[in-house]
Amino acid sequence: MVSIDNDRDYIENTYRTLTALWPDRQPQLSYSTCFELLVAVMLSAQCTDDQVNKVTPALFTTYPNLHSMAEADITELESLVRSTGFYHTKAANIIATSRMLKERFDGKVPENIDELVCLPGVGRKTANLVVSACFGKPGIVVDTHVLRIARRLGIAPTDDPARSERMIAASINPERWTAFSHALNRHGKFICTARKPKCQECVLKANCPSVDILTT
């Protein structure tokens, strides 16, 4: 594992380079309300954003809000989300979460991470995306792409998402968390890919401790 020991210049350069290259801070999931984003992120576990975006239009037409989702027919819901994988668990969690929002949160999506992670099927990745995209709070969304690239860059040399989140958080100021997290996601998704990272076209290759690590 590579490690960068509190190298502020390295972090600063990485942040500036990546956020200039990938300035988009919006989730790549389609949604029109916080509840829809919450459900979309729950569906994105072990599934691509593109595939989730294919199923959510029909899902949100059939069940347009958390009240209708709380009363959803589980068999129908399962068939609507089947192509995202793990559909039994996902459908059950979506219904349970909708009911909890109705009963314990006055029909609203909570604004803080501690409350969000109490919801069935909602982990820190989902909670961080919701608080940052819906409520404008700092959020570090450690998905598979962020976990991988933060490890390769030495910013968070770990395979544990919760630990990675803490290490990324400690590396930069909170007002930069959301932008950094989205930029890391895009760079990991399109350049620093799992099997064949495109190191020779990567804007970070001059300083990255893992450059060409898979080809040497």
Interface residues with ligand SF4 (CB under 6 A) are: 149, 152-153, 191-192, 197-199, 202, 204-205, 208, 210-211, 213
Point out the catalytic residue in the list 50, 143, 196, 198. 143
**Is 50 tagged catalytic?**
no
HEC string for 84-131:
HCCHHHHHHHHHHHHHHHHHHCCCCCCCCHHHHCCCCCCCHHHHHHHH
Closest alpha carbon to 123 in 105, 151, 143: 143
Distances (CA, A) of 60 to 55, 82, 152: 9, 15, 38
Nearer to ligand SF4, 119 or 172 (CB): 172
Report helix angle 177-190 to 161-171, nearest 10: 120
| In the complex, minimum distance from the CB of residue 167 to ligand SF4, in angstroms, rounded to a whole number | 16
Nearer to ligand SF4, 36 or 143 (CB): 143
Nearer to ligand SF4, 41 or 149 (CB): 149
Nearer to ligand SF4, 90 or 189 (CB): 189
Distance CA 148, CA 1 (A): 12
Point out the catalytic residue in the list 7, 54, 108, 125. 125
| In the complex, minimum distance from the CB of residue 158 to ligand SF4, in angstroms, rounded to a whole number | 16
| In the complex, minimum distance from the CB of residue 168 to ligand SF4, in angstroms, rounded to a whole number | 14
| In the complex, minimum distance from the CB of residue 101 to ligand SF4, in angstroms, rounded to a whole number | 39
* DSSP code for 24: -
Let me know: does 23 contact 32? Beta carbons within 8 Å.
no
Residues noted as catalytic: 125, 143
